[in-house]
Amino acid sequence: MSLHPRLRPALRDLLSGLVFLVLGLAFAIGATSYELGTPARMGPGAFPFVLGGLLTVFGATVIVKGFLAGDGEAIGPVPWRAIALILGGILFFGATVRGLGIVPSLFVAVFLSAFASQQTRVVAALAIATGLTVLCVLIFVVALQLRLPLLGPWLGG
Amino acid sequence: MTHDQPLPTLPGTIVAIRRHRRLRFLPIAIAAALVVSACTQSGGGATGGASGGGAGDYPNRAITIVVPFAAGGPTDTVTRLIAEPMGKGLGQQIVVQNVAGAGGTLAAGQVATAAADGYTVLMHHIGMSTAPSLYKDLAYKPLEDFATIGLVTEVPMTIIGAKDFEPTTLEELVAFVKEHGEDVTYANAGIGAASHLCGLLLQNAMDAKVTEVPYDGTGPAMTDLIGGQVDFMCDQTTNTTEQIKAGEVKAYAVTTPERNKALPDVPTAKEAGLEGLDVTVWHGLYVPTGTPEGVIQRLSDELKKALKDPTVVEKFGALGTVPVAEDQATPAAHREKLQSQIELWKPIIEEAGVSAG
Amino acid sequence: MDLLANLQLGFATALSLENLFYGFIGVLLGTMVGVLPGIGPTATIAMLLPITFNFPAVTALIMLAGIYYGAQYGGSTTAVLLNLPGESSSAVTAIDGHQMARKGRAGPALATAALGSFVAGTVGTLILALFAPPLARIALQFGPPEYFSLVVLGLIFSIALARGSAIKALAMIALGILFGTVGQDTYTATPRFTFDTRELYSGINFVSVAVGMFGIAEILRNLEDEKTRTVMVKAVGRLLLSREDLRRIVGPVLRGTALGSALGVLPGGGHILASFASYSFEKRMSKHPEEFGNGAIEGVAAPESANNAAAQTSFIPLLTLGLPAHPVMALMAGAIIIQGITPGPNVIVDQPALFWGLVVSMWIGNVMLVLLNLPLIGIWVKLLTIPYRILFPAIIAFASIGGLAINLNPYDVFAVAFFGVLGYFLVKLGAEPAPFLLGFVLGPLLEQHLRRAMIIAQGDPTIFVTRPISLTLLVLAAIALAVAVLPSIRRKREVVFQAEED
């Protein structure tokens, strides 16, 4: 149990409030490009516009609260390397699975994301990627009959 | 409090792990066995049929039929029903793949750019003819990017009303709508759905406007109709026949030139005095343009044969429909239908000011 | 109605060797795919639907139903162990279930889920057998205004989902609702926030959001500082429930079952509310609300029971009226249509063996599930002994394939990554993912029913207060809001003491 360090700037509140504020504004402004309609026939823009506005207000409130009496907790370390590797792995899989086929695509994706752990070296990552690719092919393609080519059209499969 | 389990002895642990290992793979083994047996049942029994002229050794691997809607829906059901006999006739397994989204245009767009080798086939319904009018920036042109194989079935539609809704006949309905106009609510299953199209045509034929209430699919729309939250709708017999028979909703008319066998007491719209209301949910098979003639002919021939399969006929019956006549399951008849439907819907959709962006 | 004769017919049908076998296969497959992160029952049934085409109708339905409620069981396993829910219902279980697992109480959490589900499944099935037709009639009284008011009540009630700041929880709900609007608008077919990408027209998939927000975000959190902290759970303690645990879960299980059974009957989205509502209800009822979110066993018992009860009673609209309450039910309807039987109001009368056979098989299936799952707990818990550096790439692989398996749409995979990162940062900034998910699943219902009610009422908002059921629900919502605002001011101070935990 730690004491509440009131004097530290409440960075968590400021940042999260900012995220809400920006996203709320983005949705609300985006919604204005769709028809707002009338009460009887609300257009596609009405609901997101109101909700976007609400989120903006909530975001502003969180920011104000952060200045007045934030939770004051430190943000702590952010694993940028892990984020980049895992993000890259998943995006690679999504982008290439239909072209490369599930085996190469998944292998690369797992290989990349395995490195997100700093304890994992190349040989271990290779082993993890191989094992998981085999396991996933067995479960999803053999057992569950997911319709995905093992080797995709880009590889002539 | 949480660590009150005694530590197991070493030999005990080994035995336990062994037992667990075996158990861990058991479920997967059972699943694999089950699936393998199911595959051999559905695909393995087929043996090679005679190859059509100009088709070379087609088909020499599994064929995929892409369904542009979710598994379990009427279009999916129709596809799976004909896929089995067609696969047997072609001597290859037919895989049904559901690619749902964007009113069916996502799947059609994918097939349009697929290899024109006859291994990727599209099943689509009436939406193929309305998409060019509904979607302004469609990435494909139905008549140019696809070759037709043949029509499959035309599911009739029925005009139905809530139990407590005042009018009891189509004539009364028309009069009621003309009198009350937008106080009358019409449920549909979403923009571009068959029920929406039928509603547009119906309002044209009645020369009156009603308030349209869109739903996310037929299920919720039917729920609110039975609950009396909305007044009337028009939908495929697949969804309406049982409700009509049970008296949950009342039927005003069927939208085909002939009465429906499952609903012999329900008049046709024409009999009930409403002209210009001929609408069915027609289904057809497509391949990308450039597919060899011989392959198209082969698929069309197998489609014709499949439509005569007694199981197909029987199960189409449960859907409230029948296979199309043999001369309709041809590339030419299908193309003609597609063309005439595109022309029919264009002015109706434009006049109603409907656009799916 | 001769219930005994009907039940006899049901047992005769369900106990045939074939139906027993495929029922077992169904619950087994359901459990397994439910356990696979990212694969929910909808994807599973869609994938396995073709297998049933060669079966008799009742067998097909028994097996598919088994997959459905089996997956509900299995889904909670992954939610507890890996913080990876595959369904909206197990997202709630993950809140306290995963905290229990981190504290070495994965066994009791899973046992609670299994027992709660069994009780709920039994009661739900009994309700299905005894009261299905009259309940379906009551459900039909709910139109768009009633559903709108119900969702409002659910949302207000669920602010309690958050353990920290109430305003951040509200913001997360709003953000979830906004992401729920992505895709083609039902009313005008206008694509919203899709950036001209046709793959986004059908919206963002729930599985992608849940797997990203909970699963991937959790991995990133665990990788923050590998050297100085143990990333996975402590040694696994006892597997089964203590007497004290049992005493604590009786009330939540029963209340969750009642709430879930009632909500499950409503075809307009009631089942979605079940687990969220029962969790919030227990937290409100509890003398120790501060334990919720930190591994309260009640927080597992209530939503799991509610969710399973709702899973059983959501069959009622389909079986009595032929109206599918949600996509899984639509799949079931499709499965029996292909057998030549069209679901409708006459199914109970025309196909008694189908109806009663299914009802009885559901109870037998629940017995099988509890017998299957209690011993499996020992094995699942062993999963936690896999080194984390192997486990997390596995979760990522499963999540990616799970996202893809839904519609073979690569954007569902991209969404996993997007919501993983978004979720990670938001959680790090003190906002929680559960309210976001709630907003995401309830938002579309809220908008749909609001707009539909307004269309039907021709723009007259009094429709919400002139219809008695709707009015009652709104009054309850107002009371809930009043009750929520008062203690939340007082509770603010306690938040400080909870902050150290994640």
Crossing angle for the helix pair C166-180 and A46-69, to the nearest 10 degrees:
160
User: Quick check: is B262 in a domain?
Assistant: no
- Boundaries of domain holding B179: 156-254
The residue with tokens 């598919």 is C64
At B51 the pLDDT is: 38
A-contacting chains (≥3 CB pairs under 8 Å): B, C
Concatenate the DSSP letters of all residues of A94-148 into one string.
HHHHHHH-HHHHHHHHHHHHHTTSTT--HHHHHHHHHHHHHHHIIIIIIIS----
> If you average pLDDT over residues C93-116, what whole number do you get?
90
The residue with tokens 């109708």 is C57
At C236 the pLDDT is: 60
pLDDT band, very low/low/confident/very high, at C12 (cuts 50, 70, 90): very high
Alpha-carbon torsion, ordered C243, C248, C249, C255, to 10 deg: 150
The CA distance from A73 to the nearest CA of chain B, in Å, is 30
pLDDT band, very low/low/confident/very high, at C488 (cuts 50, 70, 90): low
Contact A138 B28 (CB under 8 A): yes
Q: Which two tokens stand for residue A126?
A: 């290779």
pLDDT band, very low/low/confident/very high, at C44 (cuts 50, 70, 90): confident
At A8 the pLDDT is: 54
Alpha-carbon distance A61 to A53, whole Å?
Answer: 12
pLDDT, greater one: C157 or C243:
C243
Contact B32 A144 (CB under 8 A): no
pLDDT, greater one: B101 or C304:
C304
pLDDT in tens, chain B (357 residues): 333 333 333 333 333 334 444 444 444 444 444 444 433 333 333 333 333 445 678 888 888 999 988 777 788 888 988 998 998 898 888 888 888 777 788 889 889 988 888 899 999 999 999 988 888 878 889 999 999 999 999 989 999 999 999 999 999 999 999 999 889 999 998 888 889 999 999 998 899 999 999 988 888 899 999 999 999 999 988 888 889 988 999 999 999 988 888 889 999 999 988 888 888 999 999 999 999 999 999 999 999 999 999 888 888 887 778 888 888 889 999 999 999 999 999 998 888 877 776
Alpha-carbon distance B270 to B257, whole Å?
Answer: 7
Q: What is the pLDDT of residues B93-123, one digit of tens each?
A: 888 888 877 778 888 988 998 888 889 999 9
Q: Report the residue of B242, B245, B315 to disrupt the C interface, i.e. the one with the largest count of C CBs within 10 Å.
A: B242
Contact A143 B97 (CB under 8 A): no
Query: What percent of chain C stands above pLDDT 70?
Result: 92
B chain contacts of residue C327, beta-carbon cutoff 8 Å? 70
- Does the CB of A138 have a partner CB in chain B at under 8 Å? yes
> If you average pLDDT over residues C320-332, what whole number do you get?
84
Helix (H) or strand (E) holding B233: strand B232-236
At B229 the pLDDT is: 94
**What is the 3 state secondary structure string of C184-198?**
ECCCCCCEECCCCCH
At C487 the pLDDT is: 59
Alpha-carbon distance C339 to C309, whole Å?
Answer: 27
pLDDT band, very low/low/confident/very high, at C66 (cuts 50, 70, 90): very high
At B277 the pLDDT is: 86
Top-confidence range, B155-159, C33-37, C165-169: B155-159
Concatenate the DSSP letters of all residues of A15-30 into one string.
HHHHHHHHHHHHHHHH
Lowest mean pLDDT among B150-164, B288-302, C3-17, C27-41: C27-41
> If you average pLDDT over residues C471-481, what whole number do you get?
90
Alpha-carbon distance C245 to B277, whole Å?
Answer: 66
At C306 the pLDDT is: 94
At C237 the pLDDT is: 66
Q: What CATH number is associated with residue B186?
A: 3.40.190.10
> If you average pLDDT over residues C212-230, what whole number do you get?
80
Query: Does residue C292 surpass a pLDDT of 50?
Result: yes
Q: Which amino acid is at B231?
A: D
Query: Does residue C502 surpass a pLDDT of 50?
Result: no
What sign does the CA torsion over C286, C288, C289, C295 have? negative
Closest by Cβ to A147, choosing from B31, B35, B95: B95
- Does the CB of A146 have a partner CB in chain B at under 8 Å? no
Are B150 and B230 found together in one domain? no
Specify whether the CB–CB gap between C33 and C71 falls below 8 A.
Answer: yes
Q: Which two tokens stand for residue C244?
A: 């004290």
At C1 the pLDDT is: 56
Concatenate the DSSP letters of all residues of B86-137 into one string.
HHHHHTS-EEEEE---GGGHHHHHHHHTS-SSSSEEEEE-THHHHHHHH-TT
B chain contacts of residue A143, beta-carbon cutoff 8 Å? 28, 31-32, 35
The CA distance from C462 to the nearest CA of chain B, in Å, is 16
> If you average pLDDT over residues C167-178, what whole number do you get?
92
Entry pTM: 0.84
At B339 the pLDDT is: 93
User: Domain map of chain A by residue range?
Assistant: 11-69, 80-155
Contact C175 A55 (CB under 8 A): yes
Of B254, B271, B295, the position where a domain reaches its end is: B254
A chain contacts of residue C164, beta-carbon cutoff 8 Å? 71
A chain contacts of residue B97, beta-carbon cutoff 8 Å? 147
Alpha-carbon distance C249 to A20, whole Å?
Answer: 37
Are B191 and B144 found together in one domain? no
Contact B32 A142 (CB under 8 A): yes
> If you average pLDDT over residues C49-57, what whole number do you get?
80
Contact B71 C324 (CB under 8 A): no
Lowest mean pLDDT among A135-149, B22-36, C103-117, C321-335: B22-36
Alpha-carbon distance C125 to C142, whole Å?
Answer: 22
Query: b/e per residue, C189-217, with b = 16+ CB within 10 A?
Result: bbbbbbeeebbbbbbbbbbbbbbbbbbbb
B chain contacts of residue C345, beta-carbon cutoff 8 Å? 242-243, 246, 248
User: Quick check: is B28 in a domain?
Assistant: no
Q: Which two tokens stand for residue C113?
A: 């889920």
Are B237 and B317 found together in one domain? no
User: Domain map of chain C by residue range?
Assistant: 3-501
Are B209 and B290 found together in one domain? no
User: Quick check: is B276 in a domain?
Assistant: no
Contact B70 C187 (CB under 8 A): no
B chain contacts of residue C333, beta-carbon cutoff 8 Å? 72
Q: What is the pLDDT of residues C413-454, one digit of tens each?
A: 999 999 999 999 999 988 888 889 889 989 999 999 999 999
pLDDT band, very low/low/confident/very high, at C191 (cuts 50, 70, 90): confident
C chain contacts of residue A39, beta-carbon cutoff 8 Å? 454, 459, 461
Q: What is the pLDDT of residues B246-291, one digit of tens each?
A: 899 999 999 998 888 888 999 999 998 888 888 899 999 999 999 9
> If you average pLDDT over residues C116-130, what whole number do you get?
92
Lowest mean pLDDT among B147-151, C47-51, C261-265, C302-306: C47-51
Top-confidence range, A122-131, B62-71, C44-53, C73-82: A122-131
At B303 the pLDDT is: 92
Contact A86 C417 (CB under 8 A): yes
Specify whether the CB–CB gap between C163 and C293 falls below 8 A.
Answer: yes
Q: How far is CA B274 from CA B76, B117, B249, B253, B281, in A?
A: 32, 45, 20, 10, 19
Regions of chain A with pLDDT less than 50? 1-7
Q: What CATH number is associated with residue B145?
A: 3.40.190.150
Q: What is the pLDDT of residues C381-402, one digit of tens each?
A: 887 788 888 889 998 998 898 8
Indicate the average pLDDT of chain A: 86
User: Quick check: is B267 in a domain?
Assistant: no
Contact B28 A144 (CB under 8 A): no
| Number of domains within chain B | 2
**A to C CB pairs, distance under 8 Å:** 222
Closest by Cβ to A4, choosing from C181, C414, C496: C496
Count, in order, helices (H) and strands (E) of chain A: 5, 0
Contact C417 A13 (CB under 8 A): no
B chain contacts of residue C323, beta-carbon cutoff 8 Å? 219, 222-223, 226
- Does the CB of C28 have a partner CB in chain B at under 8 Å? yes
Contact C431 A16 (CB under 8 A): yes
Q: B120-124 and B146-162 as β-strands: parallel, antiparallel, unpaired?
A: unpaired
Alpha-carbon distance B128 to B286, whole Å?
Answer: 10
Q: Which two tokens stand for residue B70?
A: 């979710």
At B123 the pLDDT is: 94
